[in-house]
Structure formats: C-alpha cells, structure tokens
A and B are shown apart, each in its own frame.
Chain A
Amino acid sequence: MTFLHGKSTVVVTQSMALLPVRLKLIVILLLVCQLLCSTIAFGSVLDKDEEEFSEELLLKPLPDRKVLAHFHFESRAPPSISFGRHHHLFPKAISQLVKKFRVKEMELSFTQGRWRYEQWGGFDPISSNNAKPPGVELWAVFDVPQSQVDASWKNLTHALSGLFCASINFLESSTTYSAPEWAFRPDSGNLRYGTLPREAVCTENLTPWLKLLPCRDKAGLSALMDRPSIYRGFYHSQRLHLTATGSSSQEVDSGTVLEQTLTVVLQPISWRTGKSYVDKANSQPSWSISSIFGRKVNGKCVLAKSSNVYLQFEKGLVGELKNLHKENADSETNKLASKDFLSYPSFELSVNPDKVFEEVDNLHSKSTSVLYEFSVEKYNDSHPLDLGLTWKIPVVWSCQQAPLHASRFLMGSGNERGAIAIYLKPTELSEGLKKSNIVDKSCELRVNVFQVVPWYIKVYYHTLQVFVNQQSRAVADVMEKIHVSPSKDKISPGVMEMILKLPCGLESAALNLEFDKGFLHIDEYPPDANQGFDIPAAIISYPDFHASMRFSEDGSLDKSPMFSKFQEKSLVLSYTEILLVPLTTPDFSMPYNVITITCTVFALYFGSLLNVLRKRVDEEERFLKSNAGRKTGRLSTLVSKLSAKLRGKPREPQPSTTASSSSVSFKLIFKVLLVAGIAICWQYYFG
C-alpha cells in the first residue's frame, strides 16, 4: 500500500513541474489529503491485525559436556473479522488448517534420539515441554461436537501428512490413536492422541517446518540450522504447537498462536585455546555458535519483532561456580550480585551480554540460574554474532530432576506372552522432599501414568501388580484413580490412565502388567516383520509438581514469548522408553500352500465320510441294480428322444447303458446351469 502511494507521489511531483501554479496548489492539496488518508488507513491496519513474529535461541551447557540449543519461533495472528484474510507473516497453511478442522490446540513433534532425563534435566520447562518420545507425536483438541472429533482428527492427520512430508496419515487408523480422558492433560474433552514411534525424522520434515517461518532459513536465527550439524546431534526434536485464542463470537475468526521450537542437543567439538586441562573427563568443552552450528548469526530476520540469543547457566552450575569462586577468593564478600558473576575467572564469554537476569526462585535454594541476553539487532553480515563460551577450570554439576526417574522394560521370553514393567526410582529431588516433609507423616507423591498399548499386545489388566520397596502391595492401596479402556482387536488400542499414590520415602516402585502377544494376519505385518513392533512411550507425570522459570530484572523478559512460555506452570512429565516387542510371524512365502492343503483336508473329510455313508456292499449293490433295471428312467428316454430330434436323426433304440450315460450328462448340464445361475445371482447382488 505504502509502496504504491510512494510511486504515485513520485509521478505527481514529476508532473508538477509542468503545471501552472494554481493547479500545483490543488494537486498539493489533493496529495496531502491522499497521504493523510493513506497513513490513517495504514495505521488502522496495524492496529487491527498485529501479526507478530519473534525468534529466540536459548543456549545452555549441559552437565555431560554437551550443549542444548533451543530455538523458539512464535507467530501470532490475532482474532480478525474478515474471512479468507491475507496474512502478512502468519503461515497461511496453518491458519487454513485451524479454520477448517476447528483445532483448538494442537501439538506435533518430530523427534530423533532420546532425551536423557538424568543428565539433561527433568524439572525445567524445556524438558517438560520439549522432551518428546522418538518418532512423531501428535495430539489435538478440537472445537467440534463429540461425534465429529474422530472425523476431524482423520482429516487433520492427512493434512499434516501432506504438509510435513511424513507418514502422519497412519495415525488415521483407529488402532493408532486414542482418546485419553484425564491422565495426558487435565482437561481433555475432545482430545485425540497418537504416536508413530517408528517414524524416521530427517531433513525432509525440517524443510516444510522451516517454510512456515517468514524468513525460512535464509535470515535470522533459523539461518543457523545447518542440516549436517543439527542431525549430527544426540537429540533433535522439532515441535509445532498451535493454540487458537479467543473465538467467543461467531463472526470473529479465532486468533492463532503458532509456536515452533527446535531443540537440539549437540556435542561441541572442543577447540582448546589457552590452558590444557588436567582433568580431561570433567573439563567442559569450550564452544561457540560457529563451532557447534558451523555458522554465525548474521543479523535478525527483518520481519521479526524481536530476535534474541540467550545463554542460560543452570542452578546447579551457578551454585558450583559460586563455590569454586568462594574457594578461590575467600576475601570477597559473600554478597554476589549477578553482575559480579560475570567477572568470575572460571569462564569467559566472547561477547558481552546486553542484559543479565537472575531467576526468581520460589524454592528457597541457595543458588538460582542466570541468564544472559544478547540482542541480535546489533549484528549484521559484516559483524556477525558468534557467542563463545570458554571454560577456564573444570566444573561438574548436575541437573534438576523430576521427583522420580521412570523406566519401562519388557519381561519374559518367547513370543507367546510377556509383561510390561514400569520402574520408578527416586531422584535427589524426592530425597529432598522426604527430608522436608519428614514432619508430617502423610506425605504422598502422586504419579500419573498414561500408557497406550497397541491391540496386538493383549494386556491382562487384572494382572496389574504394584511393588513398593520391592514388596507387593494391594493395588487398591496405591491406586488413587484408574481408568482403563481395553484394546479391541483391529479396532482400538488399549489405554491405561492411572494416578498412583506413593509414599515419599520410597526406595523403588514398580508396576507390572502381563500380556499375550497377538497373532496378526499376513497383510498386517510391516515389510520388516521380524524387527518387531513398537509400544509407544508411556507418560509419567507428577500432578503436584509444576515446572516454571521466572526471571526478573525489569520485566523486559515478559515480552519474550519464550520466557512467557517458561513462566507458565507446566506439568512435570517424562516419557519412558519405547518398547520393541518381537511378534511371531507366520510363513509369508506360502499362503497358497496353506490354502490348498487346508482345503484338501476338508475335501478328504467330506469325501470320505460321504463315501462311507453311501457305500453299498455286495448284496445291497445287487439289489439296487435289479431295482434300477426294472424302472428305466422315463426322463432319460425323453432326453434321448429330444436329442435325436435336435440332431435330426431317427432315434436309435438305445441300450440301457447309453441311456444312463445320457441321464448323467443331463444331470451334469443341470448342475452346470445351477452353478451358473447361482454365480450370476451372486454377481448381480453382491458384485
């Protein structure tokens, strides 16, 4: 719009020189008018639909010498009146999806690798939101009547499948998705949940995902996504979260918030400058953006409202650094402001941060995590941002973990039956809980378990056993609530949702469920049948624990979408391992043999039994023959007459043997006609 106006003004000013003065005045007046109008119009457009896009990158050193990079892109489309609206920034494909299938909320994640809860943390917003099971996970809440949810889901899977070049359409089959009632998300009415554990995630899924960004991967932070270095990582999860906001009235289209995150855990190739470390195992590798991604940040995406890079030091790391610092310099005062923290000699940043934030801790622990902000706006092609972190001394710390560490495994051998066990082991956090809650005896840890099992794993829910501290306990004592929807063969998977009530001071807890392995039809096996079948990951969550991270300095972080997301209380949850269950296979090579042999056995049965029943011996045979001799078939003579007429020959007096043969042939013809008639009827009615 502005562009067009600009052009017209140029034309007008050129023509102005040729016109008389009076005309000039009129033209100027007109021009001013026009300009005014246009600015007003433009302003109103800006007011009405503020489509926003922001990009952020969070870097975080991890205890096991790796680096977490968390990209966060957020596009917002506020509610608007018009239909078929043109979007400035928001991807049209997504908004059409939301409109068409009336998606209230949706999350799609593509993951490769397994998030290591012990080493990479399990109690922060990143791990509870972005640690996903391998393969594809999709859940969606629909704003449609209950009866249409399944249809919407099926259409949505197909649409997403096309959009992301993945086999999400396999989630269409009712055997792959489930409708969890309360264990997956607290208020899930029209929710459908499905996973594809086997889906291989690669760059063909990332490219369509990047296409949704206004700058794609051409500029801004997304330009860092060098495919080889991303897929070299230990963990890689690209996620797309959609939320429809405010669709109270009918006329107004709902606004949409599209949140795209990419979480990568990378091993920096340590480039050592300066001192060589004594303790190699403990030494943290020094890294920079260019060393882990192979690229530098060449400025922001011009369409982005904000573009920042953050570096976060975890609580444990900060505490450790402070301790080290204290040891080194006893003389320093104990009052350590975060600003001072930078001046620690244990590490060095290659770029000075624009801002430093400290976490507001709700738990009263001695150290809080520290965040450095680097604004990308200052940097450009000639002066790229290459944030580097150089460690001077070795540091060892540990991450904050979820109350329990959950793992799941299979028991038993052979292909007939087995058992699924979920093993829960306390971590440091629950140890701490035990100590803090030792006063009140009634301390309980609530654990939410959600597990979907495909139908060919036939779970016997009555065999559920609970072991607390290696001792069998009655299920009713430990179970607060349980909901099971058992699997139906070839129709729906089995879903188990339950809330366990465990004592705080537990040493271990285990759940045990027995199952029989099913036998599938030959067509239902995948091409690599002997590889086995996957049981999707179970979700263990802790309804009493919420992970949130709040940084405060001057409230400037509140504007950042990533950190406002982190501030929201998110349920602490963890995914267990995916189980690989080998199933028995039939012989794929010989369906014909089986069919023919079985039919032969049936024929043997039928024929021999019928033969025994109608067999005559000696005198019976003779008796029958004499009977037959007496009454020569009237029909057969008739037929022979008929055939003689047809042939135009005088009927020969036939001996009885030929008569019988002709009757046989008549019978044969009759049978053939009968069969043909049945076949025609069949074809007509059922064909």
Chain B
Amino acid sequence: MESKKEENRKKTSSFWVWAIASVIFRLILIYFPKNLNLSSRPEVSTPLTSLRRLAEGYWLKQSSMSPYAGSMYHGSPLLLSLLGPLTVKRMEGQPNHLLCSLLFVLADVVSAVLIRATGRKLQTAYSRSLKLLQLDSLSKSSENLSSGDVAALVYLWNPFTIVACVGLSTSPIENLAIILSLYGACTRLPSLAAFGWVVATHLSLYPAILIIPLIFLLGYGPDAPPRKLFVQRRNGKDGDNPSSGSSCLQEELFNQSKPPLTFSWKPVVQFLFWASVWSVYVLALCSLSVKQKGGLREMFKSTFGFILTVEDLSPNMGVLWYFFAEVFDFFRNFFSIVFHMNILFMIFPLAIRLNHRPCFLAFVYITISSLLKSYPSVGDSALYLGLLGLFVFELADMQFSFFLFCGYIGVSLLSPVMHNLWIWRGTGNANFYYATAMAFACFQIVLVVESASAMLNHDRKLRKLSVAKP
C-alpha cells in the first residue's frame, strides 16, 4: 500500500514536471524572434480563430462601428470584449500580443488539468464497473497507466496544441470551453457542463452536437462496458445459487455503486435548465455589446451564418474551401447543406451504438466535426488527439496506429511545404496543397473509423470475457 502511494506521488510529480516544462517551452516560443510567423499560417489561424482579425474587429468597435462591419471578424462579441483590450496593449521590448499569448498558455494549462481530472474520474468509474463484472485482471492492467495523465500530457506536448497556442489563434479558448463542459458532465455538475456547452457552442457552433454525449454522461454516468453485460450478470446472479458469499458481496456492490443501468433524469433536467439559463445570459451579454450596431441578427449572420455558408475561400486544412472555390454557383447551397448534414447524419447511429460510452462518443463527435467543419485548424485536431489519450487503455488494440502517426507527421510537414510552393513561390499550384488537405482528411477518417471499431471490439472482448466467466 505504502509503495503504491509512493508510486502515485512519483507519478504526480513527474506529471507536473512535464507540464511545467511544456509551459516553459511555450514561453520560449513566444519570446522567440519574430520570424516564426506562426500566426499567419493557414493551418493555425482560420478566419474564425485569427487574433489579427479579432484585433481588427476591436479596432472597428473602438471607432464606433459594428465589429462585423467589414468581413473581417466572425467571432463572438464576448471574446472581443475579453481579448480586444489585450490586443491593443503593447509593452516596450516585449513581443506583440504578449498578454494574449499568456492567456492562451493559461487556457492550455487549465484544459490539461481538466483533462487529467476527467481522465481520473473516468478511470475510477471504469475500474469500478470492471470490478462489478469481475474482470479484475483488466482493471488491474488499466490501473498501471493513468489515462488522465497521458491525455493531459499528450494535450500539452502535442505540436498542434503548441502551435495553436503560440500562433495566436483563439482555439485554446474554444477547446477549454469544450473540455470544461465534458469535465462538468463527468463530475456531475450540470451547471458547469451547461456553461461549457453554451460557451463552446457560442464560440464555434459545432460543439452544439455535444449535447447528446453530455446528456448521456449526466444520465448514465461516465463510460462503462455495455449495459447488457450488467443486466446479464445480475440475471445470472439471480439464476445462480444465492447462498454463495461472494455473490452476496457482489450484490452489495451492485446496490452501492448503482451501475449505469437506469437513466437518471434529474441531472439531465438540471442540465437543460442551466443550459437555457446560460444561453439566455450569453445572448443578453451579446446583445448588450452589439446593441447599437446591428444587434443579434447581424451577429448570428456573421458568426454562425459565416460558418454555415463557407463564405471565405482562403485555404485551410479542411476539404470545403477548394470545393466551394470550384463548384458551380447554383450547386453551392445544395452542397453546403449536404456537407453539414453529413455531420448530423452520423450523430444518431453513433449515439445508438456508443451510448454506454458518452465520453468516447464526445470524442468521436469532436473528431467528426473537426474533420468536416468549414474552417478547421490544428487547434481542433489538438483537442481530439488530447481526448484520444483518455481512451488509451480501451483503444490499445487499435489498428493502423503507427500508420496514422506517420501520416499525421507527414501531412503536417508536407502541408506547409505545399503552401509555400503555391502561395509564396508560385511554382506549385492549388492542387498540391489541396492534396495534403485531402490526405489529412483521409487520415482523420481512418482515425475515427479505427477508433470506433477498436472501441466496439473492446466491448466484444468484454462480453466474451464476462460470458466466459460466469
């Protein structure tokens, strides 16, 4: 017992060492001489997340115009009031936008800590439910590795996260809001979950689909093996001779920990209530800040409308920009509907199949939306790669993981090269860059598909084991 505690402490301290090291690394990059120029990379700053556009919006607002007057700013007015004043402040001898960068570093660290806490919560809940199923060997092996620590460190040290943080894009804050909502749901704090969800939706629209995993999380509790196994087990118990002592113990355990068999409506109702409260609150704040100019209608038009209609055709990591630059105008509406429906179409099949694993469901949703969203950036990839770390134990048997790893590296090296060839040198053409975007999309698809199938296989394995062990 003592040695275990010692080991735990060691683990914790090593985690913090690595976390602090990542912060220092970020600070070094921030203080790096100017030629890094990450903020102008199309992979880092999209029209939605670029801090430069935010500064322009703030300037317009300061000169008593609507921040949405030009087609520059498409973010939230709240973010504008939060970050705007920081973009103007300049300190002598310090890099530009130092305060913003520090804020983003802080957001990253907070997200990492929340991911870690979420991971621990998930892990304890999971090992408890494995114990219920008498699959102790599995739970033992899962305890060796703290998935929360892994996920947090993956999030902190992921080059995508670092680039998004140092490259002055607002995606660290969007990610923070999403992680906050997941954390809130995992710890059964409906108000926090609702706050995170409302803010994330307000900032980037796509997290709206996370309402389904959040409701599952609050209703059923964190990820667990399929509920059918518990039912079978209980039924099996009933059928078995009830005199055995171990089964009595099991029964008690069952009653104590309330396995996620029943859907508890109370937190869900609370969540919905809080969500409406927070959304009214956020809308009220927004309407206050855009009251004189345009109002909420204009805000929705130039934030959500901008996201849905894919107006900006500047290149990014996604697949939609080139498509909409080339497609014939009269098909434009049709295809923008089709592409966004593609996200929505997959929601229900996934929700049905993965309803016992709401956190993983959230991960899949986030991956899908970052794959199909109109202006994706590396910040979105950073988020789902970080969350992937939470399921390091369940996804241990995932196929093609090395192939995917190489693919991600290859694409992230090739994409700047192709962009340079096309935009700066003029020797390549748009198809080169588009090809890397396509490849990236394919790798993301492989990741989603393989992780989903690995998770389903894991469930099958559990079933097999629990059936084999009566």
Known: A484-B63, A519-B313, A613-B349. A458 touches B430 (CB 8 A): no
A490-B332 Cα distance, complex, nearest whole Å: 15
- B438 on the A face (CB < 8 A): yes
Q: B: which residues have CB within 8 A of A?
A: 40, 52, 55-56, 58-60, 63, 65, 69-72, 311-315, 319-329, 339, 342, 345-346, 349-350, 353, 371-372, 422-424, 426, 429-431, 434, 438, 441-442, 445, 448-449, 452-453, 456, 460
Chain B residues with CB under 8 A of A584: 422-423, 430
- Give the complex CA separation of A413 and B328 in angstroms: 31
Are the C-beta atoms of A460 and B322 separated by less than 8 Å? no
Pick from B311, B326, B431, B445: contact of A489, CB below 8 A. Answer: B311
B435: nearest chain-A partner, CB-CB? A597
Q: Known: A415-B426, A461-B56, A587-B429. Is A594-B322 also a contact (CB below 8 A)?
A: yes
A380 within 8 A of B: no
Of the candidates A417, A587, A591, A601, the one whose C-beta lies within 8 Å of that of B40 is A417
Q: Please list 26 pairs of residues, one from A and one from B, whose beta carbons are closer than 8 Å in the complex, sorted by A's number.
A: A455-B71, A461-B60, A462-B55, A462-B58, A486-B56, A486-B70, A518-B313, A520-B313, A521-B313, A521-B324, A522-B325, A523-B329, A584-B423, A586-B322, A587-B326, A587-B429, A587-B430, A594-B434, A595-B323, A598-B319, A605-B342, A605-B449, A608-B449, A609-B350, A609-B445, A612-B453
Closest to B329 in A: A523
- Interfacial chain B residues near A598, Cβ < 8 Å: 319-320, 322-323, 438
Q: Which residues of A contact B431 (CB under 8 A)?
A: 587, 590
A488: interface (CB < 8 Å): yes
Chain A: interface residue total (CB-CB under 8 A): 49
Bound complex: CA of A460 vs CA of B59, how far in Å?
9
Decide if B59 touches A461 in the complex (CB within 8 Å).
yes
Q: Which residues of A contact B312 (CB under 8 A)?
A: 489, 519
Closest CB in chain A relative to B419 CB, distance in Å: 9
Do B423 and A414 touch across chains, with their CB atoms under 8 A apart? yes
Between B72, B315, B438, B456, the greatest number of chain A beta carbons within 10 A of the residue's beta carbon is seen for B72
5 closest cross-chain pairs (CB), A and B: A486-B70, A462-B59, A489-B71, A414-B424, A591-B326
Q: Specify which chain B residues have a CB less than 8 angstroms from the CB of A460 in the assembled complex.
A: 52, 55-56, 72
Q: Is the CB of B71 within 8 A of A519?
A: no
Say yes or no: is A617 at the interface (Cβ < 8 Å to chain B). yes
Residue among B56, B71, B311, B314 with max Cβ neighbours from chain A (10 Å): B71
- Interface residues as binary, A492-523 with B (CB distance below 8 Å gives 1, 0 otherwise): 00100000000000000000000010111111
A485 at the interface (CB under 8 A from B): yes
* Beta-carbon contact of A486 and B324 below 8 Å: no
- Given A520-B325, A584-B423, A615-B453, 20 new contacts (CB under 8 A): A416-B40, A417-B40, A461-B59, A484-B63, A484-B65, A487-B70, A520-B313, A521-B329, A585-B429, A586-B326, A587-B431, A590-B326, A591-B326, A594-B327, A598-B319, A598-B320, A609-B449, A612-B453, A613-B353, A614-B349
Residues of B within 8 A of A523 (CB): 329
Residue A360, interface by CB 8 Å: no
Chain A's nearest CB lies how many Å from the CB of B106?
24
Number of CB contacts from chain A to chain B under 8 A: 142
**A604 CB-CB contact with B under 8 Å:** yes
A415 near B424 with CB under 8 A, answer yes
Distance (Å) between the CB of A118 and the closest chain B CB? 34
Chain B residues positioned under 8 Å from A597 (CB to CB)? 438
What is the interface of chain A mostly: helix, strand, loop, or mixed? mixed
Task: Say yes or no for A684: interface residue by CB 8 A criterion.
Answer: no
Residues from chain A with a CB closer than 8 A to the CB of B65 are 484, 486
CB of A164, distance to nearest CB on chain B (Å): 31
How many Å lie between the Cα of A523 and that of B71 in the bound state?
20
**Bound complex: CA A586 to CA B437 (Å):** 15
Residue of B nearest to A617 (CB): B460
Given A594-B323, A612-B453, A606-B342 contact (CB < 8 Å): yes
Indicate which residue in A413, A591, A601 contacts B319 across the interface (CB closer than 8 Å). Answer: A601
CB distance from A537 to the nearest CB of B (A): 22
Contacts of B422 in A (CB 8 A): 584
| A482–B63 CA distance with the chains assembled, in angstroms | 9
Interchain CA distance A416-B315 in the complex, whole Å:
10
Known contacts: A461-B60, A591-B328, A594-B326. The answer to whether A602 contacts B342 by CB under 8 A is: yes
Give CA–CA (A523, B329) in the complex, Å.
Answer: 8
Q: Do A601 and B445 contact each other (CB < 8 Å), given the known contacts A458-B71, A486-B70?
A: yes
Residues of A within 8 A of B342 (CB): 602, 605-606
Instruction: Say whether A518 contacts B452, CB under 8 Å.
Output: no
The reply on A610 being an interface residue by CB < 8 A is yes
CB-nearest residue of chain A relative to B55?
A462
CB closest chain-B residue, reference A612: B453
List residues of A (615-637) whose CB comes within 8 Å of B's CBs: 615, 617
**Taking A461-B60, A519-B315, A612-B449 as contacts, is the C-beta distance between A605 and B326 under 8 angstroms?**
no
